[in-house]
């Protein structure tokens, strides 16, 4: 009996450990975040900043600097930054090309402005960055998708 309960206790601890290592999952990244009634307006907002290498470099500096985006989204954009590991749902994985295909830049801007309610993604304009800085960051976040 004593052996069995010890065994159960150890396996439970191991299960907990593996859960905390794997971390939380993303909330389905293919589903829109902008409320339906605001979607048309959000999609109509076009990125005024062309995704040149200069813009992407600026975006990286804001992402890793004053924007603090890397804290949650990770320096490699995988959604596994030091603060992101504690969040449920977990931060967006920007290396996922399927996600990028599902979103217009205007929708990403909407979330950076308004946050994604019920998640750790809070409104960051103007708290962390200006709108213009956020367009550069969007260009950088797009660049994490390397494939199709
Ligand atoms: C405190 C942690 C945290 C920080 C800091 C943070 N994010 Fe996020 N972000 C999240 C989480 C969590 C999600 C996932 C939200 C969801 O699933 O709806 C997310 C999702 C996103 C999305 C995806 C929205 C969509 O349409 O699905 C974008 C774009 C984004 N963040 C941009 C940024 C930018 C730009 C910054 C820096 C200026 C930033 N985030 C900083 C936690 C964070």
How is the chain split into domains, by residue range?
27-142
CA angle 109, 117, 50 (to 5 degrees): 10
Please indicate whether residue 79 or residue 8 has the higher confidence score (pLDDT).
79
The rounded Å distance from CA 121 to ligand 1 centre is 5
Chain-wide mean pLDDT for the chain?
Answer: 90
Q: Which of 116, 125, 131, 139 to mutate to test the pocket of ligand 1 (most atoms within 8 A of CB)?
A: 116
The rounded Å distance from CA 16 to ligand 1 centre is 26
Name the pTM for this structure.
0.89
Q: Give the span between the Cα atoms of 70 and 124, in whole angstroms.
A: 13
Question: How would residue 19 be classed by pLDDT, with cut points 50, 70 and 90?
Answer: very low
pLDDT in tens, 130-146: 999 999 999 999 999 99
The rounded Å distance from CA 143 to ligand 1 centre is 16
pLDDT higher than threshold 90 for residue 33: yes
pLDDT in tens, 63-115: 999 999 999 999 999 999 999 988 999 999 999 999 999 999 999 999 999 99
């Amino acid at each position: 009996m004593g052996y069995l309960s010890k065994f159960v206790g150890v396996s439970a601890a191991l299960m907990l450990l593996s859960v905390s290592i794997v971390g939380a999952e993303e909330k389905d990244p293919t589903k829109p975040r902008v409320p339906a009634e605001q979607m048309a307006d959000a999609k109509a907002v076009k990125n005024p900043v062309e995704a040149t290498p200069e813009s992407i470099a600026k975006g990286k500096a804001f992402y890793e600097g004053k924007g603090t985006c890397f804290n949650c989204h990770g320096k490699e954009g995988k959604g596994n930054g030091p603060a992101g590991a504690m969040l449920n749902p977990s931060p967006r994985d920007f290396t996922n090309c399927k996600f990028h295909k599902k979103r217009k830049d205007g929708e990403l801007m909407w979330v950076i402005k308004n946050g994604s309610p019920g998640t750790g993604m809070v409104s960051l304009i103007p708290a962390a960055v200006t709108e213009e800085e956020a367009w550069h960051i969007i260009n950088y976040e797009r660049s994490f998708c390397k494939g199709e």
